Structure formats: C-alpha cells, structure tokens
Structure 1
Amino acid sequence: MKRDKMKNVVISGVVRPGRLRMCEQSTPKREDDRSPGGVLVGCCGFPKARATYYRHFKVVEVQQTFYRLPEIATAQRWRTEAPTDFIFTMKAWQLITHEPNSPTYRRSGIAAPEQLLGRCGSFRPTPEVEEAWTRTLQIARAVCAQVVVFQCPARFTPTPEHVSNLRAFFQRIERDRMLLAWEPRGDWPDELVRSLCRELDIIHCVDPFQRLPLHGT
C-alpha cells in the first residue's frame, strides 16, 4: 500500500485473490473491472459526501477509526450504502500504536488519556491494547475491510522493546483474512522492516513520493 500524504490520496495494489475477504454486502471485482495496472486510487477519509465519493472512487481508507471508533451500526451503514464492489480499508485505532500523551488523543473522546500512560500505544502486550484491537476488528468486520493500516508515530523507533512488542502483537492477534499494513515513521533500517514484514505477513505502507515499499506490493 502506498500513500500520498500531500494530496490525501491512497494508492493501493489490488488485494491478492487468495486473500480477498468476502461478506454478504460485497462481491469481488470482476477481472475486467479492475483499474489498469492493478492499482486502485482513493482518498484517506471522505472529502465529500459519501454518495458523491462512491460515484468517483472504488476504494477509501477510513481515517476516523484512527482517532475514535464509530459505533458498529454506523460502520454497517457505511457498508450497506456503498456499492457492492466498493473496497473499504481503514486505520487501526490509535490506542494500539500511539502513546496517550500524543496530541492525536485530543480527538479520541477519552476524558483523561494520561491515565493510560504505560498501558496503551507501541503495540504493548496489555489488556488495553488487546481490547483496542478487538474493537478495531469489530469495525473492520462491519465494513468488510480488506486492509487495516497501523500508522506509527516517529517516536516508535526500532528499540528492542518496540521490536518485541510489534512481533508479539502481530503473531498473536486474530486477523480473519484481512491484509495488515504497517506504516513505520521512525528511523527503521530497511532490512529490519523487510524481515519483520516477511516474518509477520504484513505490508509495508509508505508515502510513494518519499520511498518505495519494501514488502507486500
């Protein structure tokens, strides 16, 4: 998965047929319906009314789920109102990846996020992070998301603790048949990123105007 952050556009490779998730509300795209070159272009979030967006794009990366998860009924409504061949991808809830003192928590709706320090973020092996993934997964199932993106802050660097947390998290979580994409923003060595993505069966998510992905394209 490749992301153009400057233009708020997500450029995504077509989901591999063997990993395509199926649900009642969606059907796989026919071979002749795919975009040229196997590339799907959409936005990060809905910049216009959803009904208008659906007429122009075939994929979206839901941004809202990073800050604050919607109700399951809301996510189900998004899936129902979208065309049957429309593809949802989404960001994982920030409680998994970001420390509670991150400015992004201002939009979380959590009254006192500082009370979660040491218990959320950085893929910690804690009940709070486990619950955050469980709730993220519920929303992903509701929209029949094909990809879930774990966007990490620059402070999530390749320390032994962070690498251990990352590895343990992706080894133990339930993922259905979804593709999981990891977007590291710290100073991670290429070979470490490549080896972790291969080992954990995750996609390297990048800004294509900055670099090329190392695994999963």
Structure 2
Amino acid sequence: MQIKIGCCGFCTARSTYFKEFNVVELQETFYDMPSEDRMRSLRSEAYQEFEFTVKVFQAITHSSNSPTWKKMKYKLQGELKNYGYLKPTRENLNIWDEFLGRTKPLNARVYIFQTPPSMPVNEDSCKWVIDFFRTIESKDLIFCWEPRGEWYRREDLLRKVLDSTSIVHVVDPLKRKPLKISNVMYFRLHGLNHGEVNYRYKYTDNDLEKLSKYVKSELNSVLLVYILFNNIYMRDDALRFKKFIES
C-alpha cells in the first residue's frame, strides 16, 4: 500500500511545502475557473513526482445561490439553474470539459467533487449523480465524491450511486467509514466535534494514532490511500501524522 499525506491547499510557502509533502489538493480550482498558464506554472514549480489533486470548480457541484459563487469571476453560459449539484445538463458537462482541459497541465489523475448540504437528496438527485459520473467516466482519471448533508440519512441512495459508478467515496474516517472500499481511497479531514467541519480543531496524538491503525489494518488490501488535512493546523497535523505512518 502507498500512502500519500498532504493538505488541502498550500499552507506554507510552496517551496517549503514541496520539501515536506508529496501531494496537495488544489483549492483555487474550486472558487474560479483556472487558467492553463497558472496550472502550468504550478506544475513547473514542483518536482516531477509531486502530485496535484484537484478540487472541482464549484459551478459543477454548487448551485448559483451558494455564497461561494460570489468569488467567481468566470462568466457562465446558458441557464444558471442548470449548473451545480452534479446534474447531467449541457451546462455542467460543457463546463466540465473546459475545466478538465484547463487543468490538464497539472498532469492530475484525481479530481474531488464536494457537494454541499443544500443539495437535494432524493431519487432524482441520485439519478443526476449516476448519469453525470457515467457520462464523464474516464479510464485515465479517478473521480472522488464527498457528499455532505442529507445523503447519510439516505444511505440507500448513496449506496446506489456508489454501486452504479466507479467513483471513490470521500469521508473523514475518524467520523464515519466509507460505504465502498476501492483500490484507491481518498480521505479529507476537516476537524472533529462540530458537525461536518471544525477548522479550528487540532488533531490529538490519539486521533492520529487511531487513524494510522485504521489505515494500516482495515485498508491493507487498498493500493493507494490519500489523506488530506483541511483545518487551521493542517501542516502540523499532517507532518505529525507522517511520523505515525512511518513508525
């Protein structure tokens, strides 16, 4: 098993980050449509084996009434109501094609789709997600989905999506276990003890030891595990966790 540990976003100077970690989840790609020049520049700064994973543009995952849309400068075409929530609409699919092309210079394999708690959870949205991922499926890419909100009250629908597609189920394993074990697993850690996210939480040694034991014992059949920290103390927590994994 290979284990890659890093952070959601650069939490220190990039030159320092590249020395400390071998993977980063890009966050700027979520807030706005990235430019190829920017992606090419980031790729050129990193050493060859360094990996970029990509958080997908919010126009595909979040509806137009999301507060994060206010940061978006990119001008979308078509009907705004057809964007977001992984709907298999012409608008979403077209913007996905453009996004994929613009991030190509990164040579990324892993793309993370994080949907918000506001996403409706019913038979219709279940079908949206299945159709969307089946449409964009690629043998060369790994698609990871972090659903939030009511999906965990309707595990029947969540399981249906996971069983009907090749996507990786993204969770924080200290909160809940993934409903599907794949050859590749992807975990995002947003803090504990307060709902979906608690960015001010600092992981304890006990937390990190528990996570290390889970990865080493329960995921020993998995080929590749990504563990990305996404809290205020992400750099320190990730560096400490590396020591638990290496011990």
TM-score, scaled relative to structure 2: 0.67
Quick check: which has more Rg, 1 or 2? Answer: 2
Do structure 1's residue 148 and structure 2's residue 111 form an aligned pair? yes
Cα distance change, pair 139–174 in 1 and its aligned pair in 2 (3 A):
farther
Q: CA deviation at 1:109?
A: 1.4
Asked if the contact 1:101–1:117 (Cα under 8 Å) also holds between the matched residues in 2, the reply is: no
Asked if the contact 2:88–2:129 (Cα under 8 Å) also holds between the matched residues in 1, the reply is: no
Do structure 1's residue 52 and structure 2's residue 25 form an aligned pair? no
Secondary structure of the corresponding residue to residue 82 of structure 2: coil
CA RMSD of aligned residues (A): 1.9
Asked if the contact 2:34–2:99 (Cα under 8 Å) also holds between the matched residues in 1, the reply is: no
Q: CA deviation at 1:159?
A: 1.3
* Structure 2 match to 1:183: 146
Asked if the contact 2:34–2:103 (Cα under 8 Å) also holds between the matched residues in 1, the reply is: no
1:200 to 165, 169, 194: 165
Asked if the contact 1:100–1:116 (Cα under 8 Å) also holds between the matched residues in 2, the reply is: no
Within 5 A, what are the aligned runs for 1:102-141? 102-110=66-74, 116-141=79-104
Q: CA deviation at 1:118?
A: 1.3
* Structure 2 match to 1:19: none
1:82 to 46, 54, 67: 46
Q: CA deviation at 1:176?
A: 5.1
* Structure 1 match to 2:121: 158
Amino acid at match of 2:158: V
Deviations 1:165-189 (A, max 9, x none): 1111111115351110011002223
Runs of 4+ aligned structure 1 residues displaced above 4 Å come to none
Aligned length in residues: 179
Q: CA deviation at 1:93?
A: 0.7
Partner Cα separation in structure 2 for residue 176 and residue 162 of structure 1: 24
Asked if the contact 1:197–1:204 (Cα under 8 Å) also holds between the matched residues in 2, the reply is: yes
Partner Cα separation in structure 2 for residue 170 and residue 198 of structure 1: 12
TM-score, scaled relative to structure 1: 0.76
Q: CA deviation at 1:110?
A: 4.5
Deviates more, 1:55-64 or 1:128-137: 128-137
* Structure 2 match to 1:65: 29
Deviations 1:85-123 (A, max 9, x none): 111101111111110010010111147x8x853121112
